[in-house]
Amino acid sequence: MQKIISSCYGSCGELFQGIVDGQELLISYHINQKNSVIWQVDNSTDQSLSKMIEAKQFFSNHEPLNLKRFCNLPVGKGCASSTADIISTLQIMAQLKQAHLSAEDTTRLCAKIEPTDSIAFSQWTAINPLNGEVKEHFDWEPRLYVYMLEPLDTIDTLTLPRMSESAYYDKVASQQLYQHLQQAIKTKDLAYLGDVSTQCALLNQVRLPKAYLFELIRFVHLEKLLGLNIAHSGTVVGLLLREKDVSRVDELEAKIARQSFAKYYQKRALYQIVYRGMEVNVWK
């Protein structure tokens, strides 16, 4: 093999994250933005991400690797940038060892390094971020977009208390929200989905308050958008849009620029929600 490019699409937070049946669960969704890792025989070693190096240790007797990382996802804001790097590194290692790593196996390995996301899967998937175990796959793929609001602030996920450890997080309400989410997906009800995601964001306020969340929800209601979602352990917020809302993005941006939250969420961009997880291309 002369060259391997391994990529994984990132996210804008989660549609859901909470406590279900006593364990933490989350459901990531993908945006059309990804991180990539390249291996080729003449690369200089890129060790800018220590967790990429840690990912290599799962494969014994490996040769020294030369990896080059291309990061298009915001770091430390809840876009699964670190997870995308780890997944891409693991997939390169698997290719070099002529092994197959499924999305399930990859996710479990990621969880051994740090709490993880469900972005290895192409479809929406509920996982336990602490051990990578899958609870449920969903086969609905609605055509949606997200207007991502990104502040300058970043968060070290590992410093946050887990939901299961918080005395203030409403675990009963979280369980009920997951049931509502299941019903929204089963009935393919976009409005229902947007409402559940918004309620999930509100529930997380006791654990990691989002700046201007109530103003953002008011804006969503005034503009009759689907809803919003958050990075439950990050700083980004996503305004969920139907396909028909995309033609209004310039109008929405002009209105957002006049809102109190605009100065905090300084970077704003439109992304399509896609159903693509990890990808590997090999050139021999």
Work out the pLDDT band at 44, boundaries 50, 70, 90. very low
The answer to which of 62-66, 146-150, 166-170 has the lowest mean pLDDT is 62-66
Residue in this structure with the two tokens 């602030």, named with its chain if needed: 153
Q: Looking at the predicted structure, is the pLDDT value of residue 182 above 80?
A: yes
Q: Looking at the predicted structure, is the pLDDT value of residue 43 above 90?
A: no
Largest CA distance in the chain: 59
Work out the pLDDT band at 157, boundaries 50, 70, 90. confident
Q: Is the whole-model pTM more than 0.85?
A: yes
Q: Which domain holds residue 71?
A: 3-283
Q: Is the dihedral of CA 262, 72, 27, 234 positive or negative?
A: negative
From the list 275, 279, 36, the residue with the least C-alpha distance to 141 is 275
Domain count, the chain: 1
E strand or H helix that includes residue 215: helix 213-222
E strand or H helix that includes residue 255: helix 249-256
Residue 253: what pLDDT? 99
Residue in this structure with the two tokens 């009920």, named with its chain if needed: 176
Rounded distance, CA 119 to CA 142, Å?
17
| Max mean pLDDT range (36-45, 118-127, 161-170) | 118-127
CATH code for the domain of 59 = 3.30.230.120
What is the mean pLDDT of the segment spanning 251-271?
98
Residue 46: what pLDDT? 46
Residue 48: what pLDDT? 41
Q: Looking at the predicted structure, is the pLDDT value of residue 59 above 70?
A: no
**What percentage of the chain reaches a pLDDT higher than 90?**
81
Residue 47: what pLDDT? 42
Residue 254 CA to its chain's centroid (Å): 27
The answer to which of 29-33, 53-57, 63-67, 177-181 has the lowest mean pLDDT is 53-57
